[in-house]
């Protein structure tokens, strides 16, 4: 797999929502959405205050990769994958979609409602205190029903909250890197993507367990076995919301492996045990 180009761009959140969100997918190697409502609130607060929230990295290979849609169902014909920024983009989708929930394939992702209190200029986890931020954002996007509701219930502060909160959110420019590769359907695809994923999530900090295990996973198994593990993960995640890391840990434990860097390379004999593990 070779990198053909990497194109940086600044994209307003409104443009991301209208043009980008439905085209993106989440690679199976990533964990599921784990942010709680406080994380979502803090992201909104950072955006409104104009703080940097980190870059989004999107991968555009020439071949397909095991994944789930960022939004909606699995029918979209797209090869655009979120390598870094899934938690932030999911949080923004929960905000922009209204109702604080989205559909991802067969799964429903929810978070608590977040409100804004004009008198204090602060955000709260509440359905009763303040004004629903999702309503403010929809009004800033000129949704007629949202504008009518906001003006009817909060006429004294309607224009102010749209200006102070809504327009700041929809106009905030996300730094997005689009990584284009000629990813061939071979062993190097998993290894290169796991390497990129690990590097962008660990620059300047100690590599965590998740990144270590993804590296082990990419290097240790032939393509056929990786596909078997990923297929099993997809079946289990539908019922139990299981991340890939615990499954890889289980496979490693059945192989007698321990958590250290010595297990980046496995012998053919050890890898063959995967067959028994998957059948057991």
Instruction: List, for residues 193-211, the tens digit of each pLDDT value.
Output: 666 666 666 554 444 445 5
Residue 41 or 216, more confident:
41
Q: What confidence tier does 257 reach under pLDDT thresholds 50, 70, 90?
A: low
Q: Identify the CA nearest to 95 among candidates 14, 191, 158, 175.
A: 14
pLDDT band, very low/low/confident/very high, at 7 (cuts 50, 70, 90): confident
Q: With contact defined as beta carbons under 8 Å apart, do 174 and 134 qualify? A: no
pLDDT average, residue stretch 233-246: 67
CA distance 93 to 23: 13
Cα dihedral 275→25→196→199 (10° resolution): -110
Reading across the β-sheet that carries 25-27, which strands appear in turn? 3-12, 173-181, 56-60, 81-84, 25-27, 67-69
Average pLDDT over residues 221-230: 67
pLDDT exceeds 50 at position 225: yes
Instruction: Answer whether 0.85 is exceeded by the pTM.
Output: no
Structure-token pair, residue 68: 């789930």
Confidence of residue 216 (pLDDT cuts 50, 70, 90): low
Q: Which residue has the higher pLDDT, 104 or 253?
A: 104
The answer to whether 176 and 10 have CB atoms below 8 angstroms apart is yes
Distance CA 215, CA 261 (A): 9
What was the pLDDT predicted at 130?
94
Average pLDDT over residues 94-112: 89
| d(C-alpha 80, C-alpha 181), whole Å | 11
Q: How confident is the model at residue 79 (pLDDT cuts 50, 70, 90)?
A: confident
Higher pLDDT, 117 or 27: 117
Q: What residues form DSSP beta bridges with 123?
A: 116
Q: How many residues comprise the chain?
A: 280
- 97 or 161: whose pLDDT is higher? 161
Q: Tens digit of pLDDT for each residue in 54-70?
A: 889 898 887 777 788 89
More confident residue, 31 or 24: 24
Q: What residue ranges do the domains of the chain occupy?
A: 1-201, 207-280
Mean pLDDT rounded to a whole number for the chain? 78
As to burial, measured by CB atoms within 10 angstroms (0-12 exposed, 13-18 middle, 19+ buried), residue 91 is buried
Residue (of 115, 116, 93, 123) closest to 33 by Cα position: 93
Q: Which residue has the tokens 């989708």?
A: 93
Q: What is the C-alpha separation between 60 and 178, in angstroms, rounded?
A: 7
Q: Which residue has the higher pLDDT, 81 or 271?
A: 81
> Is pLDDT at 38 greater than 80 in this prediction?
yes
Structure tokens at 145: 């029903």
């Amino acid at each position: 797999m070779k990198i053909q180009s990497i194109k940086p761009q600044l994209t307003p959140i409104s443009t991301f929502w209208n043009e980008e969100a439905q085209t993106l997918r989440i690679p199976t190697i990533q964990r599921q959405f784990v942010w709680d409502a406080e994380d979502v609130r803090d992201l909104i607060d950072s955006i409104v205050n104009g703080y940097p929230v980190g870059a989004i990295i999107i991968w555009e290979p020439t071949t397909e990769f095991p994944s789930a849609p960022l939004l909606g169902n699995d029918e979209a014909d797209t090869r655009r994958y979120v390598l870094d920024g899934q938690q932030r983009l999911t949080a923004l989708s929960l905000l922009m979609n209204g109702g604080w929930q989205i559909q991802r394939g067969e799964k429903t992702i929810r978070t608590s409602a977040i409100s804004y209190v004009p008198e204090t200029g602060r955000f709260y986890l509440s359905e009763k205190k303040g004004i629903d931020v999702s309503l403010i954002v929809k009004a800033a996007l000129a949704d007629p029903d949202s504008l009518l509701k906001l003006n009817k219930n909060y006429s004294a502060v309607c224009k102010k909250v749209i200006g102070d909160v809504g327009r700041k959110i929809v106009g905030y420019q996300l730094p997005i890197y689009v990584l284009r590769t000629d990813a061939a359907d071979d062993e190097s695809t998993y290894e290169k993507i796991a390497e990129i994923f690990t590097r962008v999530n660990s620059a300047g900090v100690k590599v965590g367990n998740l990144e270590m295990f993804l590296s082990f996973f990419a290097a240790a198994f032939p393509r056929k076995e990786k596909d078997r593990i990923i297929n099993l993960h997809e079946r289990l995640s539908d019922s139990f919301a299981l991340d890939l890391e615990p499954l890889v840990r289980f496979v490693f434990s059945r192989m007698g492996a321990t958590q250290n860097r010595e297990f980046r390379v496995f012998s053919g004999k050890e890898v063959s045990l995967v067959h028994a593990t998957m059948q057991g």
